Amino acid sequence: MKLPVHLALSTQSKLFLKPQSLLLLRNFSAEPTPPPPQTQSPPRESESSIVTQAVDLLRQTPQDEWTSSSQLRQLLLSSSSSSSSHSPRDFFQITRRFSSSAEALSFFNYVKSNSENENSPSLSYTFQAILEIAIREPNSQDKLFDLYKTCKENNVTLSVNAATLLLRFFGKAGMVDKSLVVYNELDEDARNTHIRNVLIDVLLRDGRVDDAFNVLDEMLDRESEFPPNDVTGDIIFYWLTKKRRPGRYVSDEEIVGLVTTFGEHGVFPNTVWLTQLITRFYRIAKGCQAWDLFHELMKLGADLEAASCNALLSGLGRDGDFKRMNQLLTEMKENNIQPDVVTFGILINRLCKSYRIDEAVKVFEEMNKGKESDGVSVEPDVIIYNTLIDGFCKVGRQEEGLSLMKRMRSEKGYAPSVATYNCLIDGFCKAGNIDMGQELFDEMNKEGVKPNVVTVNSLVDGMCRHGRIYSAVEFVKEMTYKGLKGNAITYTVLINAFCNVNNIQEAVDWFNAMCQSGCSADAIVYYALIAGLCQAGRMKDASFVASKLKAAGFYPDIVCYNVMIGGFCRRNKLDEAYEVLKEMEGAGMKPDCVTYNTLISYFCKSGKFSVANSIMKRMAKDGIMPTVVTYGALINGYCLDGDIDEAMKIFKEMSSSSKVSPNTVIYNILIDSLCKIGKVESALSLMDDMGNKGVKPNTATYNAMFKGLREKNMLEKTFNLMDKMVEHACPPDYISMEILLEWLSEVGETEKLKKFTQEFRVSPSPA
DNA sequence: TTAGGGTTAG
């Protein structure tokens, strides 16, 4: 695998800066310095004899005698030298053996003053070696630019490696302006692709995006003499995938354009980078850009692999874009890109998450089919099985999930993983079969599959949802004792459970326990407690927890703000509600339909209909349409105000003119109000209306009716409705039972009630 | 591949 450029570079620079021979007092290092890997230095062979001889001679001759030494002149400068190998690289090697740049510079001056050709490549190489020595010396920052100036004054052409060295050195030292000076003073034809790559890298690292792009644009020009190569691509693609790029923001359109233009030069990002870019686009909700980029590259003939397709597929899946997923699969086939197990996993997972488990099973079966035909055959792995098992559980078919686990074991010999068990435990627990959840928990322990915090949370959630809060608490304590500590999710489940049964104190205690346990909280657990406290009307505490949330580095989101606004409204603290609203807007969040509905509901309940109306106007101005909840608030308000006529007027308006159709709650408000003022017949006709419109009555609807019917002693109608409840499997609650029990006992119809309740007998609850 | 989320009308 090719080393990413940044890695290659940093390793080099480490080698480069290795302190060398600084302690040696001799003129020359004892050992030749190994050439830095980036230089195009001669192959590592034994030094030519001329180098060895010259080094020895130079060592023996005092510096002020070099000029007069005919031996030295003979060896190095004479064209009739026997070795005849005055290759520039010899000068490079000789110079490198000096232990200080000052001495090396003296050598340069000696060579220069005795050289016939002022522009000799030997001088270039000698100078390169001087720079390499200087870079390792103290105060190299000042020294290097002075040396560069000396080089220019002497009209010595910078070698490619020397130029590279200077560009990179000044870049690293934060002296990018000097890098630019060096680059700009290079001969036109010396600014080749290699040099440009170095400069672009230096500029990008310094955040000079536009300067870098200027250099790059010349390269990307169709007529460019120095087109980009793979290294250019590596530099740009690596930089594009970096999380934090210094310098100006580069738009997604620019990125797509850039990668595409590279593609036109036959330079493509590798699979890893392309995959990262696609993933990145999806994370910032720019899936379209990912799609376009992928297809541009496909058109340009890039070698695309399954991993990049998978990134695209999973993004499309998250967006629910099955159409494009199918298109991409077809394109993969056409372009001979073999799907892998991840590809199938994404497809199966998406189908499962859309509750299309039967289709998911079909895809699963196709994985194996290829074996028989000439198609592709991909062996499903445990993850694929787990995905399907979870899919079954999520649609309430946990029994089938269980048999799939058995099949996986018997047919494939795969042992279930902790995730397999977690999916099943969660499935059975959600369905209320806590016992089966616990059985599976025992089974995994017996098999040596270690439960994790997900296992615990699934069981705890199941217990809490099905009225076994204290079993859940015991279980959490037992697991903690055994070393399996809960996390934020565990605490959220418990806090919600206690809030739901109105035991706020216990919820608060668990929150405090979490803070003390050292478990790292997230925003959600704060939201849960804030909501519970608001529900309980403990607004001071709610505000306190909100301040703790902020102190912990989280931010309230719009739902959290709405919860608090609602809490203050319910407590009749409008000023505080507005304070929260102001804070919310200050945080850049605009009120949404819930915010508006909360305020409208408050004013309607207080009979301030004109204020409610002006809020509705502002809501419309903000482009938010009234919802069924808005109408419910108005209708409820007028009903409470005793103005049923106005309530009915709004109801009729919404039914006829607006696009919002009334729901059960709207009917319930009206039916309840009509019954309360004795208009039972009107209430009954509203129930008929519900039937006609396909709006289902619920227990609350029947309860409202029962109360009204009881006042009028309309027994027959009541029996009628009780039959309907049975027919529609709408179970009575304790309110229905209270009304009916009292009334029907009075009139001696307990037998009817007994039969009625028997119809709703549920299987014995494990609680 | 697996676990948790809080609003508004009755």
Compute the average pLDDT of residues A629-641.
95
Chain-centre distance of CA A85, in angstroms?
61
Task: Give the model's pLDDT for residue A654.
Answer: 86
10 Å Cβ neighbour count for A274?
26
Separation between Cα atoms, residue A279 and residue A346, nearest integer Å: 14
Task: Give the model's pLDDT for residue A281.
Answer: 87
Separation between Cα atoms, residue A463 and residue A475, nearest integer Å: 10
Closest CA to A332 of A375, A371, A277, A283: A375
Higher-confidence position of A46 and A584? A584
* Residues of chain A above pLDDT 90, percent: 72
* Parts of chain A belonging to CATH 1.25.40.10: 487-589
- Name every residue whose Cβ is closer than 8 Å to that of residue A365 and which is 6 or more positions away in sequence: none
Q: How many residues does chain A have?
A: 767
pLDDT per residue as tens digits for the range A269-304:
999 999 988 998 888 878 888 999 999 999 999 999
Does residue A114 reach within 7 angstroms of strand B, measured from its CB? no
10 Å Cβ neighbour count for A604?
25
Closest CA to A25 of A72, A67, A59, A56: A59
10 Å Cβ neighbour count for A624?
19
- Name every residue whose Cβ is closer than 8 Å to that of residue A34 and which is 6 or more positions away in sequence: A15
CB A703 within 8 A of CB A722: no
pLDDT per residue as tens digits for the range A310-349:
999 999 998 888 899 999 999 999 999 999 999 999 999 9
pLDDT per residue as tens digits for the range A117-162:
767 788 999 999 999 999 999 988 889 999 999 999 998 999 999 9
- Tell which strand B nucleotides have any atom below 7 Å from a protein Cβ: 1-10
CA dihedral A150, A156, A159, A165 (to 10 degrees): 10
Residue nearest to nucleotide B7 (CA to C1'): A563
- The domain covering A487-589 belongs, at the CATH homologous superfamily level, to Tetratricopeptide repeat domain (1.25.40.10)
Residue nearest to nucleotide B9 (CA to C1'): A632
Secondary structure, 3-state, A373-395:
CCCCCCCCCHHHHHHHHHHHHHC
Looking at residue A65, what DSSP letter applies? G
**Chain A 516-535, CB < 7 Å to strand B:** 522-525, 527-528, 531, 534-535
Task: Give the model's pLDDT for residue A14.
Answer: 30
To which residue do tokens 């409840």 refer? A725
CA distance readout (Å), A69 to A114, A155, A164, A202, A442: 12, 26, 35, 44, 93
pLDDT above 70: residue A245 = yes
Nearest nt by C1' to A629 Cα? B9
CB A613 within 8 A of CB A633: no
Element (H, E) at A329: helix A322-334
Closest CA to A254 of A318, A209, A205, A191: A209
Closest CA to A488 of A444, A468, A518: A518
Q: Distance (Å) from CA A503 to C1' B6?
A: 16
CB A630 within 8 A of CB A598: no
pLDDT above 80: residue A37 = no
**Chain A 625-684, CB < 7 Å to strand B:** 627-629, 632-633, 636, 663-666, 668-669, 672
Task: Give the model's pLDDT for residue A50.
Answer: 81
**Chain A 317-346, CB < 7 Å to strand B:** 345
Task: Give the model's pLDDT for residue A346.
Answer: 94
Residue nearest to nucleotide B2 (CA to C1'): A419
Compute the average pLDDT of residues A62-82.
78
CA distance readout (Å), A516 to A525, A567, A573: 14, 28, 33
Residue nearest to nucleotide B10 (CA to C1'): A665
- Name every residue whose Cβ is closer than 8 Å to that of residue A587 and which is 6 or more positions away in sequence: A555, A556
Secondary structure, 3-state, A245-300:
CCCCCCCHHHHHHHHHHHHHCCCCCCHHHHHHHHHHHHHCCCHHHHHHHHHHHHHC
Compute the average pLDDT of residues A540-568.
95
- CB burial readout A278-316, b (16+ within 10 A) else e: bbbbbeeebbebbbbbbebbbebebebbbbbbbbbbbbb
Compute the average pLDDT of residues A456-463.
96
The alpha-carbon radius of gyration of chain A (Å, integer) is 40
pLDDT per residue as tens digits for the range A700-714:
999 999 999 999 999
Nearest nt by C1' to A394 Cα? B2
| Minimum mean pLDDT range among A310-324, A548-562, A652-666, A682-696 | A652-666
Task: Give the model's pLDDT for residue A4.
Answer: 36
First-to-final CA distance of chain A: 60
Nearest nt by C1' to A342 Cα? B1
CB A123 within 8 A of CB A94: no
- Name every residue whose Cβ is closer than 8 Å to that of residue A346 and which is 6 or more positions away in sequence: A310, A313, A314, A317
**Chain A 74-103, CB < 7 Å to strand B:** none
**Chain A 592-621, CB < 7 Å to strand B:** 593-595, 597-598, 601, 605
Does residue A310 reach within 7 angstroms of strand B, measured from its CB? no
- Name every residue whose Cβ is closer than 8 Å to that of residue A411 and which is 6 or more positions away in sequence: none
pLDDT per residue as tens digits for the range A349-360:
999 999 999 999
pLDDT per residue as tens digits for the range A555-590:
999 999 999 999 999 999 999 999 999 999 999 999
CA distance readout (Å), A370 to A339, A364, A365, A373, A407: 12, 11, 10, 5, 20
Nearest nt by C1' to A673 Cα? B10
Residue nearest to nucleotide B5 (CA to C1'): A524
Task: Give the model's pLDDT for residue A79.
Answer: 57
Task: Give the model's pLDDT for residue A371.
Answer: 61
What is chain A's mean pLDDT, rounded? 88
Amino acid letter at A191? R
Does residue A420 reach within 7 angstroms of strand B, measured from its CB? yes
pLDDT per residue as tens digits for the range A403-424:
999 999 999 999 999 999 999 9
Separation between Cα atoms, residue A761 and residue A79, nearest integer Å: 114
Q: Distance (Å) from CA A208 to C1' B3?
A: 46
Higher-confidence position of A19 and A430? A430
Separation between Cα atoms, residue A28 and residue A57, nearest integer Å: 12
Separation between Cα atoms, residue A232 and residue A194, nearest integer Å: 8
Banded pLDDT at A21 (limits 50, 70, 90): very low
pLDDT above 80: residue A370 = no
Nearest nt by C1' to A349 Cα? B1
Looking at residue A337, what DSSP letter applies? -
pLDDT above 90: residue A679 = yes
CA dihedral A509, A515, A520, A521 (to 10 degrees): 50
**Chain A 534-553, CB < 7 Å to strand B:** 534-535
Q: Distance (Å) from CA A642 to C1' B9?
A: 17
Nearest nt by C1' to A557 Cα? B6
Compute the average pLDDT of residues A593-598.
95
10 Å Cβ neighbour count for A15?
13
Task: Give the model's pLDDT for residue A284.
Answer: 81
Q: Distance (Å) from CA A311 to C1' B3?
A: 25
Does residue A496 reach within 7 angstroms of strand B, measured from its CB? yes
Does residue A458 reach within 7 angstroms of strand B, measured from its CB? yes
- Structure tokens given for A275: 């995959």
Beta bridge partners of A144: none
